[in-house]
Amino acid sequence: MPFQNRIEIMAPAGSFESLEAALQGGADSVYFGVGKLNMRSRATVNFSEEDLPEIVERCHEAGAKAYLTLNIIVYDEELEAVHALCDAARKAGVDAVIASDLAVISYARSIGLEVHMSVQANVCNMASVKFYAQYADVVVLARELTLAQIRHIIESIRKEGVKGPSGELLRVEIFAHGALCVAVSGKCHMSLAAYNSSANRGACFQNCRRAYRVTDAVESTSVKEIKRCENPNKKVTVALMDYGMKENIRRKLEKFGAEVIICPYDTTAEQIKALHVDGIMLSNGPGDPADNPEVIRNLQAMMQLGIPIFGICLGHQLLALANGFKTEKLKYGHRGANQPVKNLETGRVYISSQNHGYAVMSSSIDKAIAEEYFINVNDKTCEGIRYKNIPAFSVQFHPEACGGPCDTSFLFDRFFDMMKK
C-alpha cells in the first residue's frame, strides 16, 4: 500500500466533557486513560473501565478513533489488572492500545488489539523503529527529536518499506503541543536542561536533590522603563503591565487596534492615570502570586481609577489577591495547549493553552463583588472571574494563544467593548 501523507490530529481526554470538546473541535482520534494504569493516574478526573463502551461509541459516532493509553511501567502484581483492561478494551471496540511495557504489548497483540508504541519508549532512531515495528503499527517518536531527525526517520521508513503487523507501512506520531516532561522514569532531562550535562550520558548533576526557592521572579522578567509602542491604526490606548508577559499579548492588543504602553511591574496607579489610557492589561508571569505585595497594593489603587482591566494568568491571580481572594499551589499544575475550560454563563467548553502552577481558590471568591467566569473541566479549579465592583475580568488560561488554540480570543473583543463605553 502506498505511503499516505494524511495527518491525523489527536487530542487527549480525561473526562466526558473534555472528550466532547475534542470531538467538537474536529479531532480525528482521542487518547485516554482508565483508572491507575496510565500516565494520568493521579489526575483529579479520570475514566473508569465501565466508561469504555460509551467512550468508543461517542468517538465512532463522530468519525474518530479511540485509543486507550496503558503506558506506565507495569509490575508483576498489576499484570492481572492489565490483562482485564485489555480484554475490556477489545470487547468495547477500542481501536488501539498505546503502550511501552513489553508485557502490555505482548498481551495486547495476543488478543488482537492494535498497538501503538508510546512516547515513553523513547524511540529516537531507525534501529528502534524497526524493532518495535514487530509489535506496533504506530510509533510515537521521542519528544526530544529535532524536525530533521523526524524527517530522516519518516523518509527511512518509506525507503526501507518498514511495516507493522498489519502489513502496512509503519505510521509515525509526534507531539505538536503539550507538556515536555522533565523526567520519564529513569530517563531524566533535568540535569541536561539546567547544566547541559545529561544524566542519560552518565553526567547527572543531581540537581533534583537540591532545595531551591524562586525569588524576585516578576521583577527579574519585567521591563525596567515605560515603553510606548506606536500603532498607526490606534483606536484605544492600553497600559500593559509587564509581569513577565508573552509578546503575543502585545501583538493581540495591537491587532485589535490598541496603542500599547508597556509598563514595569511596579508602575503605580498615579503613573497609570498620567498616561491617560483606556484600559489596563495585566500580563502573565512566573512564580507565586502572593510573593508580590507591592504589585497587589498598586493594583488596589488602580482599581479605584475606574479604568477597564483584563488579567491573564498571573495577572488574573494578582487581581484576585488585590480583591481579598486567596490563591493556592496546585499539586501538579496545568501545562500544555489542550486544557478544557467551561464558560459558566453559557455552558460551552473551550480548549485553552495553559502554563501555571497556582490557582485562585474558588471558595475564597466574595460573591458580593465577583463571580466565577470559567472553570477547568478536569479538576474544577477557577479559570476566570468577572467583577461586579469594578469594570474588570480575568482568566487563568492564555486567550492570546501562541502557540495554542484561538477558541477564546473573543475575550479581547469583550475587553475592547468595555473600553469603548
Residues 323-336 have pLDDT tens digits of 999 999 998 899 88
Average pLDDT of the chain is 90
The torsion angles phi and psi of 132, rounded to 5 degrees, stand at -75, -20
Separation between Cα atoms, residue 310 and residue 312, nearest integer Å: 7
Q: Which of 175, 207, 231 is the last residue of a domain?
A: 175
Residue 187's pLDDT is: 67
Cα dihedral 80, 86, 92, 94 in deg (nearest 10): 160
Catalytic residue among 116, 316, 334, 398: 398
Does 306 share its domain with 399?
Answer: yes
Span 65-75, average pLDDT? 88
Distances (CA, A) of 20 to 5, 14, 23: 27, 11, 5
**Annotation marks residue 400 as catalytic:** yes
Catalytic residue among 114, 219, 383, 400: 400
Amino acid residing at 306: G
Q: Which of 175, 208, 230 is the last residue of a domain?
A: 175
Catalytic residue among 259, 313, 316, 382: 313
Is 45 a residue whose pLDDT tops 70?
no
- The larger pLDDT score, comparing residue 195 to residue 214, is at 195
Cell numbers describing residue 183 = 523526567
Is 150 a residue whose pLDDT tops 80?
yes
Does 261 share its domain with 407?
Answer: yes
Residue 403's pLDDT is: 57
pLDDT tier at 185, thresholds 50, 70, 90: very low
193 belongs to a structural domain:
no
Closest CA to 373 of 337, 403, 399: 399
Amino acid residing at 304: Q
Span 62-82, average pLDDT? 90
204 belongs to a structural domain:
no
- CATH number of the structural domain spanning residue 338: 3.40.50.880
**Annotation marks residue 398 as catalytic:** yes
Residue 30's pLDDT is: 95
Report the b/e string of 94-105 with b at 16+ CB within 10 A.
bbbbbbbbebbb
Residue 183's pLDDT is: 57
pLDDT tier at 307, thresholds 50, 70, 90: very high
Residue 178's pLDDT is: 64
Residue 404's pLDDT is: 64
Does 150 share its domain with 72?
Answer: yes
Cell numbers describing residue 365 = 471568591
Q: Is the pTM of this model over 0.75?
A: no
Closest CA to 290 of 266, 239, 325, 330: 325
Separation between Cα atoms, residue 199 and residue 314, nearest integer Å: 33
Amino acid residing at 79: L
Does 389 share its domain with 240?
Answer: yes
Residue 202's pLDDT is: 64
Does 171 share its domain with 224?
Answer: no
Total of domains in the chain: 2
Enclosing domain of residue 286:
217-420
Residues 238-277 have pLDDT tens digits of 999 999 999 999 999 999 999 999 999 999 999 999 999 9
Is 3 a residue whose pLDDT tops 50?
no
